[in-house]
Structure 1
C-alpha cells in the first residue's frame, strides 16, 4: 500500500496540473520531438546567455571603471590647476581654455552647486560613483567638497541660471557637450573651490563651484548592462529557427516510414488489406518494416489458401449431396424419402451458410462510393411491401466509401432480424464529418445482457429449437463491420426492444 504525504488540496492541484499538461501535450511523435528539442534549445540558450551575461557584465564593469578612473584623473588635474589660480583669474583662464579647446569637459564656474536630475539609483550607479569619488579624493584630498552624479544630456542644467544645455546661445554652442547618437549618460562633477583670504585672514562669504561634465566614452552608452540586446536576440532567434527547421525536416524524413507502418497496420487490423511497405529509414525501422511485410505476406497466403480450401470443399460437397438427392428420389417409401430430403436440405443449407460466411468476410471486394440513403430506402421498401414495417429518419449528407455488397448484406441482416423478432423497425441516420452512425431499433423482446456477446458467435442461436437458420447472420455482420474499421453495439431499449448502433468511420 502506497502512502501519500501530500495534502488533499495539493493532490487536487497536482491532478489539475497533470490534466492541463496532458491536454496540451502533443500526440504525434514528430511534434513531441520538436517540442522537446525546442525546450532543450531554449534551456541551453538561457544557460549560455546567463554565462555570457555574467562574463559580459564583469568585463563591461571593469572597462567602465577603467574609463571612469581615467576621466576622474583628468578632472582631478583640472581641479588642481583651478584651485591654484586666484579667483579673479579663473574666469580669464576658463575663457582661454574654451577658445583654445583641448579639454573633453564642459567647464563652468558657478556661485552655487547646480542641482542635476540624476539617473535612477541603482547598485551599479553607486559603485561607479564610489570609483570616481575614490580617485578624486586620492588626488585632491578629503577636505574638498565634491558632488558626483550621472545624468542624461537633456536633463542637464548649467550656469547659475540653471538653463538647459540646448538653450545656450549659438555663440557658445562650441562649449556645449556634443550630442551623439546613442545618447550616453553624462558624468557631472562639481567641486567647491577655496575662497581667497583677506589681509585680516578672514574668508570671503561668497563661494565658487567648478562644474565639469562629459559624456561617457563609447561603447559605454548605459550604466545598466542589458541581458540581451537586439543584435544578440536576433542571433539567438535566427539560430533557433534554423536548428528547428533542420530538425523538422530530418524528423519528417525519419518518421515517414513509421507513418507508413502505422497506416499499413491500421489497414491490416481493420480491412485486412495492407500494401507492402518500402523498407527504408534507420536500421531499427527497416527491421520492423521487414517483419511487418513478412507477416503481411503470410496472412495473405493464409487467406488465399483458405479461399482455395473452401472453394474445393464447396465443389467436393456439392457433388455427393446432389448424388444423394438423386438416390433419394428413387426411394419407394415416401416417409423415408421425406426424412432423407429434409436431412439433405439441412446439410445443403448449412454448407451454403458456411460458404456465405467466408464469402461475406472476403477482403477482395473493391471499395466504392455508394449512396447509403438509396440503399436504406431500397431495403425499407423491400420489407414494407405488404405493410409498413420500417420507419426511416435522417439521412447521410454525402456518399459513403465502402464495400457495397458487404454493406448491403450487413444492413439486410440487421433489418431482417429486427423485422423478424420485433415486427417493426425504426432506423435513424446521423452523419458527422468523422463517422456515419445508423441506429436500428426493433420492438421485440430484446436480448438478455449475458447473451449480447454470444449472439455474435458462429452457429449460436438463443432458441435453438424454435429458430430457423444457421446462426451465422450476426457473425457475418460483425466481420463486415470490423472489415470497415467500425463498431457494432447492442443495447436493450428502456421501453422494450433492441437497439443496434452501427458506427462506420468515414475515410480520411
Structure 2
C-alpha cells in the first residue's frame, strides 16, 4: 500500500489521466476479449461448415468410387486440421449436433436407415477422445504440436456398411493475440493519453494560476485580478477570488485612511492641551500631564505606522538569507552588542527584504534589551526555513507568550515610557511574518532564556 501511495500522482491532471488510462485499458482488454470470443465462434462455425461440406464431398466420392481408390481419396482429402479414416464402427460422440447431422442428410439425400453421428461442440478434453488419438497418430510425421481443441468430430455410415470417421480441429490462428493487436492497443492508448493530458492541463491552468495568486495575496504581495477563463466551476472560483481580493484591498485602504484621519484629528486637541499645560505652575501635576500627552502622541504615531506598514506593498525578490542575517548581526557587533551568528554557504529565498530585516531587528533588539546576549540560528529543511533568535534572559511567563503579540500589550519589565515603547513591535513583526506565509512564536528554553522562532515556507 505504501508503494502504491508513493507512485500515485499528486497532481489533479496525473490522477485523472491515471484513472482514465486504467479504464481505457480495461475497456480495450474487454473489447478485445469479446471480439476474440465472437470471432472464434464465428470462424469456428464457418470452418466447421466448410469442413462439413468437404466431408460431404468425400462421402460422395467414396460412394461413387471403387474400394481400391478409397485410400487415395482419403489421403488427398486430409489436412492438418481434418482427419479422415474408414472404420467398421462409429466414434459415438457424447454430444451430437442435430444441425450438422441434418446438413449431411440434406446434402447427401441419406435414407433414414443410414446413421450420421456428429458432435459440433468445442471439446476442451479433446486429447482424451479416440478421434484425437487418431489425429495425433496421423500428425506424428509433421513438425510442431497439433492444435489442442476439438471443434467437430463424428462418423457417417456409408452404403457399403463402413463408417467414415473424421475429426476437425480448431485452427491454431483463430483467436490468437498478435503483435499487431498489441501495437494498435498501445497506439490508441498513447493518442488518448496525449489528448487527455493536453485537455486537462489546459483546463487546470487557470486553477494553478489561482493557487499562485492566492499564495501571493496571503503573503501580502501586490497581485492583479485574474482573467476569468476555464471551465464553469473554475471561472466561478476565479470570480469569487477576484471579489475577495477587491474587498480586502478596499478594507485595508479604508482602515489605513480611517486611522490616518483619527491620528490627524487628535493631533489638534493634543497640541491644544500641551499649550495649555505650559501655563500651569511647575510641579508634579504639570509633569504628569505632559508625560501623558507624550504617551498619547507616541501611541498615535505607532498606530498610524502599524496601519501603513501593514498596507505597504513592498515587492518580493530573491535574496541570500544567510547574507541578510550575517549583515544584521555584524551591524550589532560593530556597535559592541553581543550578537552571534554562524552559517556557511548560500540560501536564496524569495521575500521582502526590508520587512524581514525589520522583523529580525525587533526580535534581536528585544533580546538585547532584556537578556543582554543573543544567538541567531538558521535551520533550513526541504519544507521550511526556521530562524531562531535565542537569549539567556529571564524568559516570559507561559500564560503571556501569546499575549505579548497583541497591540499595546507590554510586560511589566517593558514599561519604560522614556524608550518610546508602546507595545506594537511584536504585533508588527508577527504581521510581517504572516504576510510571508510564515509563523512567529515565542518559547521558553529548557536551559533558560527565551526563543523567538520564525517558520517560513519554502
TM-score under structure 1 length normalisation: 0.67
Deviations 1:60-112 (A, max 9, x none): 2223323433455566677779972299xx8xx89xxx9xxx98879xxxxxx
Equivalences for residues 32-181 of structure 1 within 5 A: 32-72=15-55, 84-85=67-68, 115-116=140-141, 120=145, 124=149, 127-128=150-151, 131=152, 133-134=153-154, 138-139=157-158
Deviation at 1:502, TM superposition (A): 1.5
Q: Distance in 2 between matches of 1:323 and 1:427?
A: 46
Match in the other structure for 1:417: 366
Q: Do 2:377 and 2:389's aligned partners in 1 also have CA atoms closer than 8 Å?
A: yes
Distance 1:427-1:78 versus aligned 2 partners, 3 A rule: farther
Q: Distance in 2 between matches of 1:290 and 1:149?
A: 72
Note if 1:257 corresponds to 2:206: yes
- Structure 1 gap ranges (5+): 1-16, 107-112, 151-215
Q: Distance in 1 between matches of 2:69 and 2:164?
A: 18
Equivalences for residues 212-227 of structure 1 within 5 A: 220=171, 222=172, 225-226=175-176
Match in the other structure for 2:451: 499
Deviation at 1:35, TM superposition (A): 1.9
Q: Distance in 1 between matches of 2:242 and 2:9?
A: 29
Q: Distance in 1 between matches of 2:192 and 2:69?
A: 70
Deviation at 1:415, TM superposition (A): 0.9
Deviation at 1:448, TM superposition (A): 3.6
Deviation at 1:278, TM superposition (A): 0.9
- Which of 476, 487, 490 is matched with 2:428 structurally? 476
Deviation at 1:30, TM superposition (A): 1.9
Match in the other structure for 2:267: 318
Deviation at 1:118, TM superposition (A): 7.4
Distance 1:465-1:73 versus aligned 2 partners, 3 A rule: same
Q: Distance in 2 between matches of 1:382 and 1:43?
A: 68
Q: Distance in 2 between matches of 1:78 and 1:268?
A: 94
- Which of 391, 396, 401 is matched with 1:447 structurally? 396
Aligned-residue Cα RMSD (Å) equals: 3.7
Deviation at 1:282, TM superposition (A): 3.0
Match in the other structure for 2:440: 488
Distance 1:496-1:75 versus aligned 2 partners, 3 A rule: farther
Residue 384 of structure 1: SS of its match in structure 2?
helix
Q: Do 2:404 and 2:410's aligned partners in 1 also have CA atoms closer than 8 Å?
A: yes
- Which of 427, 431, 436 is matched with 2:376 structurally? 427
Q: Do 2:359 and 2:429's aligned partners in 1 also have CA atoms closer than 8 Å?
A: yes
Match in the other structure for 1:202: none
Match in the other structure for 2:10: 27
Q: Distance in 2 between matches of 1:141 and 1:456?
A: 116
- Which of 300, 303, 312 is matched with 1:351 structurally? 300
Q: Do 2:320 and 2:347's aligned partners in 1 also have CA atoms closer than 8 Å?
A: yes
- Which of 361, 376, 385 is matched with 2:325 structurally? 376
Q: Do 2:40 and 2:174's aligned partners in 1 also have CA atoms closer than 8 Å?
A: no
Match in the other structure for 1:187: none
Deviation at 1:252, TM superposition (A): 1.9
- Which of 260, 274, 287 is matched with 1:338 structurally? 287
Q: Do 2:154 and 2:166's aligned partners in 1 also have CA atoms closer than 8 Å?
A: no
Deviation at 1:235, TM superposition (A): 2.6
Residue 229 of structure 2: SS of its match in structure 1?
coil
Q: Do 1:380 and 1:390's aligned partners in 2 also have CA atoms closer than 8 Å?
A: yes
Q: Distance in 2 between matches of 1:27 and 1:84?
A: 80
Distance 1:325-1:467 versus aligned 2 partners, 3 A rule: closer
TM-score under structure 2 length normalisation: 0.74
Q: Distance in 2 between matches of 1:483 and 1:86?
A: 104
Deviations 1:153-178 (A, max 9, x none): xxxxxxxxxxxxxxxxxxxxxxxxxx
Q: Do 1:273 and 1:363's aligned partners in 2 also have CA atoms closer than 8 Å?
A: no
